[in-house]
Amino acid sequence: MLYFFMLKLFSGSANLHLSKEVAKLLNTPLAEAEIVRFGNSEVKVTVQEDVQDDYCVIIQATSNPTDTHIMEMALFCDALRRQEAQKVMGIIPYFGYAKQDIQHRPGECVSVNVVIKLFETIGFNKLITLDLHDEGSAGIFTIPFKNASAFPLLAHKIADFFKNEKVDLNKVALVSPDQGAVEKVRKFGIEFYGTEKFNEVVIEKKRDQNVMHKAEPYDLYGDIKGKIAIIVDDMVVSGSTMIPAINLCLARGATEVYAAAVHHDFTEGAAERLQNSKLIKFFTTNTIAFKPGDEFAKMIEYSVAPVIAEELQTLKNKDKLYPKQ
């Protein structure tokens, strides 16, 4: 006879509210652990439950402060391994350092490779993230890895928003803010329109690798005149890509501009810049917990808890073990 693993769900400190939402959907309590931060910035993780032979899951976004949350994640895994957990899986709603996936200039590190190697070496059996910045980075992993997506959830929520506003979706144009987001927008659009037959608008931009957060749009390709534009991207950081794209869409004849991004990894002042822009609404998710100053009136946030809960429910249904002898 086969039995399910005993699933223990832990939460890091990055986004406890999201972890609680996931636990509620799964009807599974969060397991007990203590996270202590010392005055010298070091952190200590102590698992306070018996996890021997259990399947343990840690939910932790590696968002700002990125280094702190990555170290906490690694220490969590080490603590569980030392208590003889059967397997340890990490759910990383937002994967920090994912944008640093290529050497742009001589002498640069490739940070995402280093983070992946750290998680693999410390003992994770599997990792799941949401909308990794570059899907090609999935090929770096040597342990089971899944790049799940919140784009379908976001697309359905935004489509419902416009339907409630009595807006014909055929009057909406989806815009890729650069060439790198074309495939993301395509996937979003299939869910948004419910068909693969739709036109996509693409903005051509160039980023100055010698200047942080500086990107300028060159041109726009596609029919946007007289339409409502939705600029779709996986993340917004400073707004340096988004705000020029908003202005270009309006200059080319869009009647209104909205934006949608899974991750809001805001730098200081980004929320204020978006609020003061000509943007109508900014749709996003809660993969990253708000910091003071991150929220603004034009923002609408949706929870990714159902996406994570579905991944874990699939895990509970598929991963089994034989009873102890």
| CA 251 distance to own-chain centroid | 30
Q: How far apart are CA 180 and CA 131, in angstroms?
A: 13
301 forms beta bridges with 284
Q: What is the DSSP string of 272-299?
A: HHHHTSS-S-EEEESSSPPPTT---TTE
Residue type, 239: G
CA dihedral 94, 97, 276, 184 (to 10 degrees): -60
Which distant-in-sequence residues (6+ apart) come within 8 Å of 170 by Cβ? none
Given 197, 205, 206, 316, which residue is catalytic?
205
Nearest to 154 by CA among 321, 4, 282, 8: 282
State yes or no: is 171 an active-site residue: no
- Give the SS3 label for residue 181: helix
From residue 303, give the alpha-carbon distance in Å to each of 25, 85, 164.
12, 29, 19
Pairing of strands 87-92, 256-264: unpaired
Tokens, residue 297 = 């009136």
Give the active site residues.
205
